[in-house]
């Protein structure tokens, strides 16, 4: 399925492999040989998200020994992840193998499907743990330059029961889990022996988090209920309830207030209950406890709960932070400067959701950071002091907003677009067309764009499918 991309280089170096029987928790400690050319610097990229994938697209790989390390061997187009939970878009349509992205551009790299678990900054060495199933292989590789783009993961804010009972929406596995949970709840609710109270509980979906991810999932779920479940299970579809819980006074706090009001009006019309100024205190097996701003606690029964509230840096970012605690003082992620350099380190850059800067954790921020860093590195490939010289050779990174989009259901979306020095705000069917056009344009390949467009046509002609493994 995946082509092998080899590096043909005149000289190679390899780390030796050995087994440590003294540590029973590790089946084997091995080092996988990788080719390097000694007259080139080794550039290691951690992650295959928006930032690092954009670097690969714009980097001149002839100037570096490029090594990519990530627990997933594909790029995930996250704006369409909520639509995968209900069958509007199929999962493979938005997963582009990283080797395909690199090979199509005639570039070279070495890829390791592994998790980076530790770093020795003095020796410039990374410890990798292979993530293949039933594999516990540990590898060590060296680097001259390192780019940390490991991204972010869900943030529970220490709320009891979230990790045990809630579904998240950050990775494709999360979307599949939600899809399966929804299907199971509907099938269980179809049994006639259930009480009405238990049936209503099973068919109540609670979304925690009023940001774009939570709002888009609620919109997609509403479309599934009204367009498909109303035909398949008409008796049950009328009992399905969607509740969105947000701790702030309103949803979509980063959007224009007019668009927020429009979204709230559409949700009210579609029967999606908004509970703003409401904080989740605890998630239990079949209920969640919430605290209202203006009155006391309430216990809400649910069948499926989707947690889309907050984001935090992945574990490696905190591992790196711990190496320089006197400088890296933020618990949210890696503090970087205006040149994307990790403060307190040398020859290490970071970008995207694992960082702390003046920019919001958005996909387009990470993408622009990746493009900026690739161009900067291209100009400094032969410079032994690239980490220091980048400040004199490049202008600081400045994020330029391309606007914000969010799908809100019923073939409607909201858009906040820059026009010269003004912001244009649009909500409705036209914005939905614009949102779809943006997705097709931004997808990483023609194959992905055609696959997504085909999914949309099939959905329009035949409806969605909730089939799941």
Cβ-contact 91, 459 below 8 angstroms: no
d(CA 211, CA 404): 12
Beta bridge partners of 313: 152
Burial of 22 (0-12, 13-18, 19+ CB in 10 A): exposed
CB atoms within 10 A of CB 144: 17
Of residues 388, 365, 364, the one with CA closest to residue 376: 388
Beta bridge partners of 355: 334
What Rg value do the Cα atoms of the chain yield, rounded?
24
**Alpha carbon of residue 136 to chain centroid:** 25
Query: Which pairs with CB-CB distance under 8 Å and at least 24 residues apart come from 437-443?
Result: 438/405, 439/77, 439/79, 439/80, 442/77, 442/79, 443/77, 443/94, 443/96
pLDDT tier at 469, thresholds 50, 70, 90: low
Write down the pLDDT at residue 271: 97
Tell me 286's DSSP state: S
SS3 2: coil
Pairing of strands 412-419, 422-428: antiparallel
Q: Per-residue pLDDT averaged across 429-437, rounded?
A: 96
What does the alpha-carbon distance between residue 151 and residue 333 come to, in Å, rounded to a whole number? 10
What's the pLDDT score for residue 135? Answer: 67
What integer pLDDT is reported at residue 466 of this predicted model?
A: 79
Could you give the CA distance from residue 184 to residue 181 in angstroms, rounded to a whole number? 5
The string of pLDDT tens digits covering residues 337-387 is: 999 999 999 999 999 999 999 999 999 999 999 999 999 999 887 777 888
User: Which pLDDT tens digit goes with each residue over 160-203?
Assistant: 999 999 999 999 999 999 999 999 999 999 998 899 999 999 99
For the cut 70, the answer to whether the pLDDT of residue 77 exceeds it is: yes
Q: What percent of the chain has pLDDT over 90?
A: 80
pLDDT (average), residues 310-327: 96
pLDDT band at 35 (very low <50, low <70, confident <90, very high): low
Q: Could you tell me the CA-to-CA distances from 189 to 22, 57, 185, 193, 199 in Å, in that order?
A: 52, 48, 6, 9, 5
User: What's the CA gap between 176 and 329, in Å, rounded?
Assistant: 36
Q: Give residue 31's pLDDT.
A: 40
Q: Which residue has the tokens 């649009």?
A: 426
What is the pLDDT, as a whole number, of residue 382?
A: 74
Q: Which of 408, 401, 453 is nearest to 426 (CA)?
A: 408
- φ/ψ of residue 87, rounded to 5: 85, 5
Q: Using alpha carbons, list the distances in angstroms from residue 214 to 14, 168, 252, 461.
A: 46, 10, 9, 27
379-427 residue pLDDT tens: 887 777 888 889 988 999 999 999 999 999 999 999 999 888 888 999 9
Dist CA 359 CA 84 (whole Å): 28
pLDDT surpasses 50 at 460? yes
C-alpha span between 362 and 372 (Å, rounded): 16
**What pLDDT shows up at residue 21?**
31
Mean pLDDT, residues 301-313 taken together: 96
Q: What is the mean pLDDT of residues 276-293?
A: 96
pLDDT in tens, 148-164: 999 999 999 999 999 99
Question: What pLDDT shows up at residue 136?
Answer: 75
The yes-or-no verdict on residue 142 having pLDDT over 70 is yes
Q: Quick one: CA torsion of 137, 138, 140, 145, rounded to 10 degrees?
A: 90
Q: Is 361 exposed, middle or buried (0-12, 13-18, 19+ CB in 10 A)?
A: buried
Contacts of residue 446, Cβ cutoff 8 Å, sequence gap at least 6: none
DSSP per-residue string spanning 387-405: HHHHHHHSPPP------EE
Cα distance between the two ends of the chain: 20
Q: What is the mean pLDDT of the chain?
A: 90
Q: What is the pLDDT of residue 11?
A: 32
378 φ/ψ sector (left φ>0, alpha ψ -120 to 50, else beta): alpha
Q: Hey, is 30 helix, strand or coil?
A: coil
Grouping H, G, I as helix, E, B as strand and the rest as coil, residue 96 is strand
CA torsion sign for 73, 78, 80, 84 is: positive
Q: Which residues contact 228 (CB under 8 A, 6 or more apart)?
A: 87, 463, 464, 466
Burial 268-281 (b: 16+ CB within 10 A, else e): eebebebbbebbbe
**Residue 25 clears pLDDT 50, i.e. is over it:** no
Instruction: Report the number of secondary-structure helices (H) and strands (E) in the chain.
Output: 15, 25
Q: According to the model, what pLDDT value does residue 242 have?
A: 98
């Amino acid at each position: 399925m995946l082509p092998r991309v080899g590096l043909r280089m005149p000289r190679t170096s390899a780390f030796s492999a050995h087994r440590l029987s003294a540590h029973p928790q590790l089946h084997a400690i091995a080092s996988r040989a990788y080719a390097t050319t000694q007259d080139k610097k080794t550039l290691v990229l951690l992650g295959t998200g928006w930032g690092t994938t954009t670097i690969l697209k714009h980097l001149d790989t002839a100037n570096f020994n490029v090594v990519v390390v990530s627990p997933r061997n594909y790029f995930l187009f996250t704006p369409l992840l909520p639509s995968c939970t209900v069958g509007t878009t199929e999962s493979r349509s938005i997963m582009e193998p990283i080797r395909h992205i690199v090979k199509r551009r005639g570039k070279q790299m070495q890829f390791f499907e592994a998790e980076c678990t530790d770093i020795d900054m003095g020796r410039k060495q990374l410890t990798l743990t292979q993530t293949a199933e039933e594999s516990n292989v540990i590898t060590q590789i060296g680097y001259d330059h390192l780019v940390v783009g490991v991204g972010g993961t869900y943030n529970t804010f220490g709320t009891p029961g979230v990790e045990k009972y809630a579904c998240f929406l950050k990775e494709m596995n999360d979307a599949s889990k939600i899809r399966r949970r929804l299907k199971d709840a509907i099938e269980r609710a179809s049994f006639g022996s259930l009480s009405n109270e238990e049936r209503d509980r099973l068919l109540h979906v609670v979304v925690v988090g009023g940001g774009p991810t939570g709002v888009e999932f609620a919109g997609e779920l509403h479309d599934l209920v009204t367009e498909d479940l109303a035909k398949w299970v008409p008796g049950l579809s009328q009992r399905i309830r969607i509740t969105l819980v947000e701790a702030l006074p309103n949803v979509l706090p980063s959007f224009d207030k007019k668009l927020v009001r429009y979204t709230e009006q559409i949700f009210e019309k579609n029967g999606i209950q908004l509970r703003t100024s409401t904080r989740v205190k605890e998630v239990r097996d079949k209920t969640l406890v919430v605290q209202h701003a203006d009155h006391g606690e309430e216990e809400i029964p649910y069948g499926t709960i989707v947690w889309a509230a907050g984001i935090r840096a992945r574990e490696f970012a905190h591992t790196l932070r711990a190496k320089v605690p006197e400088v890296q003082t933020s618990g949210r992620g890696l503090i970087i400067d205006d040149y994307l350099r990790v403060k307190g380190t040398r020859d290490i850059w970071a970008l995207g959701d694992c960082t702390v800067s003046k920019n919001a954790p958005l996909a387009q921020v990470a993408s622009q950071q990746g493009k900026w860093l690739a161009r900067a590195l291209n100009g400094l490939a032969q410079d032994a002091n690239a980490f220091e010289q980048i400040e004199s050779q490049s202008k600081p990174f400045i994020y330029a907003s391309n606007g914000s989009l969010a799908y809100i259901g019923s073939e409607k979306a909201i858009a906040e677009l820059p026009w010269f020095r003004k912001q244009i705000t649009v909500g409705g069917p036209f914005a939905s067309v614009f949102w779809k056009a943006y997705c097709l344009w931004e997808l990483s390949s023609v194959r992905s764009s055609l696959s997504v467009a085909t999914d949309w046509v099939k959905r329009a002609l035949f409806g969605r499918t909730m089939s799941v493994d």
